[in-house]
Amino acid sequence: MANNFADKLVKKIFGSSSDVFLKSVKATVADINAFEPKIQAMSDDELQAQTPKFKEMIASRLKGSEDIEERRKAEQDVLNEILPEAFATVREGSRRVTGMRHFDVQMIGGIALHQGRIAEMRTGEGKTLVATSPVYLNA
């Protein structure tokens, strides 16, 4: 009984873990959206050139990282750094190829998957689109 009260009190003060996560990714989604006009203005060739650009950024940041833990940390740092632009790139590629644009809720789901979280989505919320952004980023 006391434990149940403590759990309720913590949730009331700090919010559920989902609430905390949503607050933490709000700025990242805003960053993704901020890249949209720039990326929409790109030609198809420029859009395709994003992938080698990201690969080069990752490779240059990982150069010289011998320690496996140091390398893993450096990789996560650079992936998190390029995430907004990479997700915006996937969003635009999807819009051009399939005519389907990722909504913000799908970007949030993609961030959750990238972070190794489980993202629950209901029927019709676009689970297939959700997976494309973290797959692209982590490929």
pLDDT in tens, 107-124: 999 999 999 998 777 877
What mean pLDDT comes out for the span 66-85? 94
Nearest partner of 115 among 44, 17, 48, 14, judged by Cα: 17
CATH code at 15-138: 3.40.50.300
pTM (two decimals): 0.84
CA torsion sign, 86 to 89 to 94 to 100? Answer: positive
**CA atoms within 13 Å, Cβ hemisphere of 122:** 0
How distant, in Å, are the alpha carbons of 14, 57, 93 from that of 28?
A: 20, 19, 19
Annotated domain spans of the chain: 15-138
- Token pair 């969003």 is found at 91
Which residue type does 68 have?
A: I
Distance CA 23, CA 95 (A): 27
Q: Return the minimum-mean-pLDDT range out of 13-22, 46-55, 118-127.
A: 13-22
